[in-house]
């Protein structure tokens, strides 16, 4: 064994440790839009909206099957495709909906779970919205990391979903008229490697 061999092995070991280290990805606001579906009049129709402004980060250590997410959603950026409804959702206090002046952001923090082949299949966390914090588990329907061919930077993307009861967050608009309180979340997210 030559004198160079131990140095080479040491360098390889350092490289492997670096590769296994947690990597931080910053949310790409141009490709991340949480969406929700909510009932109108007990099944008469389904209302859908997206939030246009989302920030945050994802930390991923695929080799250790670990990671976390920390996401902030600007509640005033909700878009139903209907300006009057957007204004009501953001500003109405009677009945209260998002009350964005009082509760400007929704905050979700969680840990990546159920790794298979280096990819997580769930996020177990807590959502703070409308001044209330409740557990919410996101199911990751697809997950992929790659080098973006346009930017030449590493990016990870996912499709996630969950169901929650909005009345648990104090948002009960429409309940006296039979509106169902269940809300289905569908989230598209992309995050760019920070380093």
Q: pTM, whole model, 2 decimals? A: 0.87
CA dihedral 143, 148, 149, 153 (to 10 degrees): -150
* Residue 195 structure tokens: 């380093």
Residues 6 or more apart whose CB falls under 8 angstroms from that of 93 comprise 99
Q: What is the pLDDT along the chain (195 residues), one digit of tens a residue?
A: 455 554 444 444 434 434 468 999 999 999 999 999 999 999 999 999 999 999 999 999 999 999 999 999 999 999 999 999 999 999 998 889 999 999 999 999 999 999 999 999 999 999 999 999 999 999 999 999 999 999 999 999 999 999 999 999 999 999 999 999 999 999 999 999 998
Instruction: Give the pLDDT of residue 15.
Output: 40
What domains appear along the chain, each with residue ranges and CATH number?
Answer: 22-193 (2.40.128.110)
């Amino acid at each position: 064994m030559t004198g160079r061999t131990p140095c080479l092995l040491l360098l390889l070991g350092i490289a492997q440790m670096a590769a296994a280290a947690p990597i931080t990805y910053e949310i790409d606001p141009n490709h991340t839009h949480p969406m929700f579906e909510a009932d109108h009049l007990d099944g008469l129709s389904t209302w859908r909206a997206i939030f246009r402004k989302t920030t945050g980060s994802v930390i991923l250590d695929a080799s250790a099957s670990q990671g976390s997410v920390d996401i902030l959603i600007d509640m005033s950026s909700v878009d139903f495709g209907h300006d009057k409804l957007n204004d009501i959702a953001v500003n109405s206090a009677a009945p209260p909906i998002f009350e964005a002046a009082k509760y400007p952001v929704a905050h979700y923090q969680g840990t990546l779970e159920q790794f298979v082949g280096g990819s997580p299949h769930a996020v177990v966390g807590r959502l703070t919205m409308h001044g209330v914090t409740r557990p919410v588990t996101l199911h990751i329907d697809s997950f992929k990391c790659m080098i973006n061919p346009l930017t030449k930077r590493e990016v990870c993307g996912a499709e996630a979903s969950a169901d929650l009861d909005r009345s648990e967050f104090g948002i009960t608009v429409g309940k006296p008229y039979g509106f169902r309180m269940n809300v289905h979340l569908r989230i598209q997210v992309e995050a760019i490697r920070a380093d």
